[in-house]
Structure 1
Amino acid sequence: MRSIFILTKDQRRALLLDVLIVFLVLIIVVTGVSVYTGYKVMNPMKLAILQLPSKYDLEYENVTFPNIYDDVRLKGWWIPSTNHDFISQKAVIFSHSYGDNRENMPIDTLKLAKRFSTEGFHVFMYDFRNSGESEKSYTTIGAKERTDLMSAIQYVKETKGIHNIALIGWSMGAATSIIVGSESDDVKAVIADSPFADLEEYTKKNFTYWTGLPNPIGKYMIDIAENVFLDLDLKEVKPYVAAKAYKDKGLMLIHSKKDGAISYKESEQIYHNAPNAELWITKKGGHIRNYKHQKKAYEDRIIHFIGKYIKDDYRFDRA
C-alpha cells in the first residue's frame, strides 16, 4: 500500500523558508568568492627587480614619474642609445606582462633592450602601477595601465624631447600598447607579443584557467567584482577595436601556437580588424616566451619592422 505524504501549511512554509535560506547562503558565498577573486586578481604579488641594466654594460637613469591622470608614482629606467656617433631621435617603450615587472619576466628584457640600444634607439622600461617598484594601486589589466603608458609617453616627449616612439609589450602590456598606440600621434609602430583581443570576452572564456573556478559562474562573478571594484571595467579594454585605427602606423602581432594562457586566435582576431598589420605565429614559445626560443630572429624581425615606420632621423654630434 503506497503512502501519500501531504505537507501541512506550516510544513510548506518551513520548507520554503529552508529553500530561501539555502539560496541566500549560496548567493552570499558566491558573492564573497567573487569579491575575493576580484581582489586577488587586482592585487598580484609584486616581484622584485633582480638585475640592473649595468649587467649588460648599459648606462641608465633611474626615473620616477607621475601618472598624469591619477598621480600614481611610477618607476622606470631610461637607457640611452649606446651608439655615440650620433644623437638618436627615436625611442622604444617596453610594457611588461601581468604580475611581472620591467625586468623580471619569462624573457630577458634587458638583453632585448641592449639590442635596441646598439641599433640607435633610446629605451624606456617602466613598471605598471602595483608592479615592481611603482606605487601600490589596483591592477586593472589594461584599464588604468593605459594611462600609465600614456604617462610614460608624455615623460619621453617632455623630458627627453623624443617624438618618434615605438611601443613593445607582452600579454597585458601588449594589449595596452595596442590601445595606446591607436590614440597617440607620437607612436609610429607597435609590437604586441601575445595580446588578448577583448578582455571581457577573454575573461569569460578563460575564467577557469585563471581562478580554478567553473566558467559558467564567471560572468556573475565578474559582474560582482566590477561593481565592488570601481576601477575594474573590462569593457574598456578591447584591443581588437583599437586595431581599426592602424592605417598609417604599424602594428606587428606575435603569438605562439603553443600559448596555453592566451590563444593565438586572439592575435588573429586583432589582425583581421587592423587595416595595416603583420602577424607572426610561431611554433615554439608558449605564453610570452617567443623571444626566449628565437632571440636573433625575434630581434631582427621587430627592428626591421619598426624601421619601416621610424626612419633614422639623426643629427651628427661633432662636438
Structure 2
Amino acid sequence: MSSTLQKNAKPHSSELEETPPVVSPRQIRIKHVVVAFVLSIVFFFLFCFVALHAYIAWVLSNPTVASVYSNPMQAKGMAYEDVTFPAADDSRMMQGWYIPAEQKSSKTIVFSHGYGANREETWIPMYDLAHYAHKLNFNVIMFDYGFAAKTNKEVATGGKKESQQLLGAIQLAKQKGSQEIVVWGFSMGAGTALQAGLKTKDVTAMILDSTFLLEPDTLYYNIQQQLDLPRHPSLEILEFLLPIVNGTSLNQIPYQQVKKEDYPFPIFFIHGTNDDKAPYQIAEQLAANQTNPDSGSWVIQGAHHELEFREHPREYLRKVSDFLSSLNLAEEEDVNNEPLLNDELSNSPSDTSSSTAKDANSK
C-alpha cells in the first residue's frame, strides 16, 4: 500500500525546477570582449564619420589661395595706388588697389572676388574685366577678402565677415568721391554682395556672376560633387561643426532674407546651366524677386561656374555694357564701340557664344 502511494505521489515543485545552466567565468569574459569589440567598431566608424565632416568644415573655412603675382600696371598698363582701408565694422584692415579713371569720374566699380581666390582671380580673368571697366571711365577697386589676405589671414565665413569687408570697400569708393558705385561680384563674392546690399544704400547697381549663396542646399550640393554622403545627418553635423571651426553658423548668414529680398537697386545676374557649384535655379529665383525695371538675368546654356566670360567673352561684355548703359553709367558710343571690344578681347579666349546662349532677361 505504501509503495502504491509512493508511486502515485506527485513530485515536489522544487524537483520540477530545472537547474540553470552554469556560465563559466571564461564565457562571461568572452561575451564582454565581443560586446566591447563590436562597440569599438561602431564608435570607430562614428568617429571617422564625424572626423570627415570636421575636415570638410576646416577645408571650407580655410581655402588655399595663391599669392598675388602681378598688378594693374604690369597686367594692363593701368596706373594704380595701393590702398588700405578698414572693414565697415573695424574688425580688420583690408588691402587692395585703387585704379583711378583716366578722366575724372564719379563712378566706381568694386570687384568682389570669389571663394578660394584673391583680387586677381585669374580664371575669370579679373584684369581683363577691370581693364574694360577702366575704358568705360570707371574708377576700379580690387581688394582681397580676409581669407585671401597676405597678412593676418582669416577664415572664410560665407559672407558674414566678408560683407563687412565689402562695405568697407564701398565706403572707400565714397571717400574717393564716387557717387555711382557698382559692385561686380563672382561666386561667393556675389553672394557676399547680396548680403552687403541688405545693409547699405550706397550701391547704385550690381553685376553678379555665378552667384553662390551659402545655405544648407548649396552646402550639400557642393559636398555631393566630391563625396557621396547622406544629406542627413551630414548637414546637421556640419552645422554643428562650422561655428567651432570658423565661428560662424549658417543661421548667422541671412540667406533666407537674401532669397526673398527685392533690392532697391538694379541687379544683373549672369549664370551658366552647367554650374557645378551654384545651381542656376538660385539666380533665376533671385532675379524673379526683383521688381526694378532695370534688373535682369542672363542664363547661358552649357556655361560653367565663373567661366561665362571665358566661354562667351564678346556677348558677356555686350550684355554688361548694355546693362550699364541702361543706367546711364556707360555712353552709347562706348557700348557700340567695336574697336574697344576687339581690343579687350584680343588677349581673351575666342568668343564661343552661339545660339545656345539663352537670354533670360526678366524683372
TM-score by length of 2: 0.75
* Equivalent residue, structure 1, for 2:139: 122
The equivalent position to 1:80 in structure 2, one of 100, 104, 115, is 100
SS in 1 for 2:268: strand
- Is 1:61 the equivalent of 2:76? no
* Equivalent residue, structure 1, for 2:117: 100
| 1:203-242 mapped onto 2 (5 Å cutoff) | 203-209=219-225, 211-212=226-227, 214-216=229-231, 217-239=233-255, 241-242=257-258
The equivalent position to 1:250 in structure 2, one of 249, 266, 269, is 266
Judging changes above 3 Å, is the alpha-carbon distance between structure 1 residues 129 and 227 closer, same or farther for their aligned structure 2 residues?
Answer: closer
SS in 1 for 2:137: coil
| Deviations, residues 260-300 of structure 1 (Å, cap 9, x unaligned) | 22221121122233333311011353110111122232223
Match for 1:293: what amino acid?
A: E
Instruction: Kindly state the Cα deviation for residue 74 of structure 1 after the two structures are TM-superposed.
Output: 1.8
Match for 2:169: what amino acid?
A: A
Judging changes above 3 Å, is the alpha-carbon distance between structure 1 residues 30 and 205 closer, same or farther for their aligned structure 2 residues?
Answer: same
- Is 1:182 the equivalent of 2:203? no
- Is 1:154 the equivalent of 2:180? no
Judging changes above 3 Å, is the alpha-carbon distance between structure 1 residues 235 and 269 closer, same or farther for their aligned structure 2 residues?
Answer: farther
CA distance in 2, matches of 1:14, 1:284: 58
Instruction: Kindly state the Cα deviation for residue 36 of structure 1 after the two structures are TM-superposed.
Output: 2.1
Instruction: Kindly state the Cα deviation for residue 89 of structure 1 after the two structures are TM-superposed.
Output: 0.9
* Equivalent residue, structure 2, for 1:265: 281
* Equivalent residue, structure 2, for 1:281: 299
| Deviations, residues 135-161 of structure 1 (Å, cap 9, x unaligned) | 311112222111111111122223x12
CA distance in 1, matches of 2:328, 2:320: 12
CA distance in 2, matches of 1:57, 1:97: 24
| Deviations, residues 175-204 of structure 1 (Å, cap 9, x unaligned) | 111221232100011111111345222112
Match for 1:154: what amino acid?
A: Q
Further displaced range: 117-126 or 298-307: 298-307
* Equivalent residue, structure 2, for 1:3: none
| Counterpart contact for 1:113–1:123, Cα < 8 Å | yes
CA distance in 2, matches of 1:258, 1:201: 17
- Is 1:169 the equivalent of 2:188? no
Further displaced range: 290-299 or 115-124: 290-299
Further displaced range: 53-62 or 256-265: 256-265
* Equivalent residue, structure 2, for 1:301: 319
Match for 2:251: what amino acid?
A: K
The equivalent position to 1:36 in structure 2, one of 36, 42, 55, is 55
| Counterpart contact for 1:31–1:224, Cα < 8 Å | no
Match for 2:286: what amino acid?
A: I
CA distance in 1, matches of 2:286, 2:83: 33
| Counterpart contact for 2:197–2:263, Cα < 8 Å | no
Higher relative contact order (CA closer than 8 Å, sequence separation 6+): 1
> Which has more radius of gyration?
2
CA distance in 2, matches of 1:306, 1:243: 24
CA distance in 2, matches of 1:312, 1:299: 12
The equivalent position to 1:25 in structure 2, one of 27, 37, 44, is 44
SS in 2 for 1:100: coil
Judging changes above 3 Å, is the alpha-carbon distance between structure 1 residues 134 and 122 closer, same or farther for their aligned structure 2 residues?
Answer: farther
Q: CA RMSD in A?
A: 2.6
In the alignment, structure 2 segments of 5+ residues that lack a partner are 1-22, 332-363
SS in 2 for 1:34: helix
SS in 2 for 1:144: helix
CA distance in 2, matches of 1:130, 1:297: 32
SS in 2 for 1:178: helix
Match for 1:139: what amino acid?
A: A
